[in-house]
Amino acid sequence: MSEPEVIGILGEYINTKFIADFSFYILENSGYNSVVLFDNLIYSKRNIIKRKTIEVKKILEFLTYLKDEIDILLFCLQDKDKVEFIIDKYRIDVLVDVSDTKKNNNHSDMNFIKKVFYENLSKNATVIINSDKKNEINIFKYLNEKIVITYGLNTKSTLTASSIHDEDSFICCLQRGLTSFSGKEIEPFEFPIRLFCSEKIDVYKILPIIALSLMYDVKIEDVQKLLSIYMKL
């Protein structure tokens, strides 16, 4: 098996954890063998390591052990030393940027990690980014020749949401066509998303998951089903 594709999820822990767990569930149920990597947690469908902190050596051993079984590595590290050491061995093929430095107590660390993530994008990487947020570092210099998918509530976003009337539903709008990683064309659409959950939806967490799923050939109808099932777990 070839090297796994690396999805970097960049942002505050509460956001990256939600998006990584959700994305893992969707990808696993769509036929992809995935591993999620945090500073204190590594898990796949059949394996899990959870500690107060996991040494770099242990992380690399675990990834080497699972190398031939992994299709996708969801990379969510936030420790500066781990990020700098491990990311050098794994170029990022897809970056999901949900960072919000205004809400982060440690601006310098987040900006450092953000810079490292962007500097280690693969040549033809795809970047999924919130177009409603202002970045404190100049990310545009890293986006040359990259595929950029924007999400947000403004009219220029690639993927947006409208009719957010109920706490658990909205209309998902793909405003421009996409080409998935396998080469399939995805036409613009409007599709109702209903999660059947008691908690209020944060569309800024759901939209990047939908964008990522579409790029891996998960149909919007199946994304809706998997999201609603996951929210009931």
As a dihedral over the C-alpha atoms of residue 67, residue 71, residue 73, residue 74, rounded to 10 degrees, the angle is -160
pLDDT at 69: 84
**Which two three-digit tokens encode residue 162?**
């409208």
Mean pLDDT for 140-160 is 94
Owning domain of residue 133: 5-232
CATH no. for residue 114? Answer: 3.40.1190.10
Number of domains, the chain: 1
Query: 43-47, 144-148, 165-169, 173-177: which has the minimum mean pLDDT?
Result: 165-169
As a dihedral over the C-alpha atoms of residue 5, residue 40, residue 99, residue 163, rounded to 10 degrees, the angle is 80
pLDDT in tens, 70-108: 999 999 998 888 888 888 788 899 999 998 755 555 567
Per the listing, tokens 């954890």 go with: 17
Q: Taking 80 as the threshold, does the pLDDT of residue 135 lie above it?
A: no
pLDDT at 62: 86
Percent pLDDT > 90 in the chain is 58
Mean pLDDT for 99-125 is 80
Question: Is 0.85 surpassed by the pTM of this model?
Answer: yes
Residues 123, 144: Cα–Cα separation, whole Å: 9
Measured CA to CA in angstroms, residue 157 lies from 174, 206, 211 at distances of 9, 14, 12
Q: If you write DSSP's letter for every residue of 190-227 in order, what string do you get? A: EEEEE---SSPP-HHHHHHHHHHHHHTT--HHHHHHHH
φ, ψ of residue 195 in degrees (nearest 5): -100, -10
Q: Taking 70 as the threshold, does the pLDDT of residue 46 lie above it?
A: yes
Q: What is the 3-state secondary structure (H, E, C) of 121-133?
A: EEEEEEEEEECCC
**DSSP one-letter code for 71:** S
pLDDT at 109: 81
pLDDT at 52: 86
Q: What is the enclosing helix (H) or strand (E) of 21?
A: helix 13-28
> Which one, of 83, 94, 98, 89, lies nearest residue 38 by Cα?
83
pLDDT at 198: 66
**DSSP one-letter code for 161:** E
pLDDT at 223: 95
pLDDT in tens, 157-198: 999 999 986 667 899 999 999 999 999 999 999 999 988 776
Contact 90, 72 (CB under 8 A): no
Mean pLDDT for 22-49 is 94
Residues 212, 208: Cα–Cα separation, whole Å: 6
